């Protein structure tokens, strides 16, 4: 366990050395909320009360998704910059290696999401420790699920980085656009809403909104949402652990 933490700490230190990216991410978040979110909120405020809040949570969920995708990219970069064989030669189990990646992912997500979360809750006048903690737990579970999906898919990159990049772009488009991050499910047209239920972001976004006290009439059943978010996290992490252990090899050499 000590070695897993050492490995994770090393990755997190790399993360912390990239402060500029975090500041840019927070600034972009603030800009998006202040300009786009405010305008959208005025447009739709007659049908969705407090749409700015709805939008803010959606944006945080997208940040969680991006952060999870970052872990997958980080993993693939390790492979293509030649670091993966080194990591795989270290005396940690493959599960421990994956755990270190997950810890890195969680740290990445928390750093990117926590300040915007506090900012949004403060801005809408709903900042409580309890709300922030439960929202973080919800997004943490979602982040683990996304990390699991991305690491599971990373074996594609061992065949071709181009295919992996194209696949990720397509997957992101589907998962984000066909989810409820920006629009409540009840307002979606019938041809669109069935697809939304296949996106884990739908459940993550609605669960986070529910724990923050958003009107449940606009949201999915929170028990169902919690079950799906937890199931996706456990399922995809188990799958990625299996893939790391059984499929991924660090280098091909002759």
Partner 1 sequence: MFAVETLNLSKRYGKTDALRGLNFTVNEGEIMVILGPNGSGKTTLLMILCTILKPSSGTAKVVGIDVVEEGTKVREVMGIAFQEARGFWRHKPSSILKFHASMFDIDPAKRQDLIERTMKDLELWESRDKMFMHLSGGQAKRLETAKVLIQQPKLAIFDEPTSQVDLRGKRKIWDKIRELRDQGSTVIVATNEVREAEYLADRVTILHQGQRVVCDTIPKLKDAIAGGDIVEVDFEDPVSGKLVKDLNGLGGDVSLSSEGNQLRAKVSRAEDWVPKMTSASYVAGAKIASIRITEPSLDDVFLHFTGKALAGQP
Residues near partner 1 (CB under 8 A) are 3, 6-7, 10, 14, 17, 81-83, 85-86, 88-94, 96, 249-254
Contacts with 217 (C-beta within 8 Å, 6 or more apart), sequence order: 186
Nearest-approach distance from CB 24 to partner 1, in angstroms: 18
DSSP 248: -
> Given the complex with partner 1, which of 129 and 252 has the nearer CB atom?
252
Nearest-approach distance from CB 103 to partner 1, in angstroms: 15
Nearest-approach distance from CB 170 to partner 1, in angstroms: 26
Nearest-approach distance from CB 81 to partner 1, in angstroms: 7
Question: Which string of b and e fits 73-101 if b means at least 16 CB within 10 Å?
Answer: bbbbebbeeeebeebbeeebeeebbbbbb
- Other beta carbons less than 10 A from residue 28's beta carbon: 13
> Given the complex with partner 1, which of 158 and 164 has the nearer CB atom?
158
Q: Determine contact, residues 100/13, Cβ cutoff 8 Å.
A: no
Give CA separation, 23 vs 20, 67, 94, 138, in Å: 5, 14, 33, 24
Phi and psi at residue 155, to the nearest 5°:
-65, -25
Nearest-approach distance from CB 196 to partner 1, in angstroms: 40
What the block records as the tokens of 225 is: 């949402």
Q: How many CA atoms lie within 13 A of 172 on its CB side?
A: 19
Chain center to CA of 89 = 29
> Given the complex with partner 1, which of 212 and 248 has the nearer CB atom?
248
Nearest-approach distance from CB 149 to partner 1, in angstroms: 24
> Given the complex with partner 1, which of 70 and 206 has the nearer CB atom?
70
> Given the complex with partner 1, which of 81 and 162 has the nearer CB atom?
81
> Given the complex with partner 1, which of 181 and 244 has the nearer CB atom?
244
């Amino acid at each position: 366990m000590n070695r897993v933490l050492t490995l994770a700490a090393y990755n997190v230190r790399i993360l912390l050395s990239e402060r500029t990216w975090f500041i840019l991410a927070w600034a972009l978040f603030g800009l998006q909320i202040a300009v786009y979110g405010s305008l959208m909120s005025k447009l739709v405020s007659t049908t969705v009360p407090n749409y700015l809040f709805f939008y803010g949570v959606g944006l945080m969920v997208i940040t969680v998704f991006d952060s999870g995708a970052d872990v997958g990219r980080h993993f693939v970069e390790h492979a293509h910059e030649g670091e993966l064989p080194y990591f795989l030669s270290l005396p940690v189990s493959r599960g421990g290696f994956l755990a270190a990646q997950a810890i890195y992912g969680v740290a990445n997500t928390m750093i990117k999401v926590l300040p915007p979360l506090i900012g949004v809750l403060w801005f809408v006048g709903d900042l409580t420790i309890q709300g922030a903690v439960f929202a973080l737990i919800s997004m943490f579970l979602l982040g683990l699920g996304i990390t699991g999906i991305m690491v599971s898919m990373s074996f594609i990159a061992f065949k071709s980085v181009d295919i992996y990049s194209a696949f990720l772009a397509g997957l992101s488009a589907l998962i984000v656009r066909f989810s409820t991050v920006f629009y409540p499910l009840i307002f979606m047209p019938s041809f669109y809403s069935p697809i939304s239920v296949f996106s884990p972001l739908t459940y993550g976004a609605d669960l986070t909104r529910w724990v923050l006290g958003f009107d449940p009439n606009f949201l999915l059943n929170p028990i169902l949402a919690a079950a799906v978010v937890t199931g996706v996290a456990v399922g995809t992490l188990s799958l990625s652990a299996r893939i790391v252990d059984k499929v991924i090899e660090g280098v091909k050499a002759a």
